């Protein structure tokens, strides 16, 4: 695990809350967006999965539609409308399959099964972020 993740995981020393989930997501997303994955694919822990599940127990199977939907619902209740809109739009762009392909995020995945699992999880996030964005722009 990288130093960046270890730094962020000091948040785990406190009881896990919605606020900590949002804080960790924001910090990890900022780092993920500028990271370059030329030599290796990102570790699962380096990807800012938008869920409320503590990262010490989150596994790839936990990145489900309902988990991402719950993250956005919690974020909406804790953030201003502008900040929430920015979060949703940023997530939608961050996890868009074309964005991942352009950034070669999974080019060096350790094996085909791992690549497929990460692709499915990222697609679920992109789809729910798109649905959240659609709900946001409808209102």
Q: Answer for the pair 26, 78: CB distance below 8 angstroms, yes or no.
A: no
DSSP 7-67: HHGGGGGSPP-HHHHHHHHHHHHHHHHH---SSSPPPGGGS----SS-TTT--GGG--HHH
What does the pLDDT read at residue 39? Answer: 86
- pLDDT (tens digit, 9 = 90+) per residue, 46-97? 999 999 999 999 999 999 999 999 999 999 999 999 999 999 999 999 999 9
Distance CA 86, CA 19 (A): 17
Give the pair of three-digit tokens for residue 100.
């991942």
Mean pLDDT for the chain? 91
Give the pair of three-digit tokens for residue 119.
């692709």
What does the pLDDT read at residue 23? Answer: 95
What does the pLDDT read at residue 124? Answer: 97
Other C-beta atoms closer than 10 Å to the C-beta of 4 total: 16
Q: Looking at the predicted structure, is the pLDDT value of residue 11 above 60?
A: no
Distance CA 53, CA 32 (A): 19
């Amino acid at each position: 695990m990288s130093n960046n993740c270890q730094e962020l995981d000091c948040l785990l020393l406190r009881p896990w809350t919605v606020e900590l989930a949002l804080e960790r997501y924001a910090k990890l997303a900022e780092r993920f967006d500028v990271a370059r994955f030329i030599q290796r694919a990102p570790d699962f822990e380096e990807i800012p999965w938008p869920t409320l599940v503590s990262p010490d127990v989150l596994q790839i199977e936990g990145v489900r539609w309902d988990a991402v939907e719950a993250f956005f619902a919690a974020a909406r209740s804790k953030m201003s409308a502008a900040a929430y809109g920015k979060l949703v739009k940023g997530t939608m762009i961050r996890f868009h399959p074309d964005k991942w392909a352009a950034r070669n995020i999974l080019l060096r995945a350790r094996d085909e099964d791992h690549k497929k699992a990460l692709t499915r999880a990222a697609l679920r996030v992109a789809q729910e972020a798109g649905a959240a964005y659609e709900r946001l722009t409808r209102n």
